[in-house]
Amino acid sequence: MRGMLAHEYGVDLAKIQWFQAGVLQPGRVEKVELRLPAGVTIEPRREATLVEMLAKGELDAVISAHVVPGRRLFEDFAPLELEY
């Protein structure tokens, strides 16, 4: 999804404050070392969940393989995913 935002929509990933946390349960730790593009950093939040942070207004959006409460960035997302 990050790649699609950057390549298809011109989003500068380095201008986003990225957080890493469990979606529904706190304490998530990366299993594989991340290789991030230059200028992109991720702040781990092991004490919180992305759903909690979104509900509190601490996040503007969540990128996840899991469905989270709220609305999707792209309403008709399935054709866009297939096209990408």
Lookup: tokens for 42: 């991720």
pLDDT single digits (tens) 39-50: 999 999 999 999
What's the mean pLDDT when you consider all of the chain? Answer: 89
Q: Residue 69: which domain range?
A: 2-83
pLDDT single digits (tens) 55-83: 999 999 998 888 888 888 888 888 987 88
Domain count for the chain = 1
CA atoms within 13 A on the CB side of 25: 3
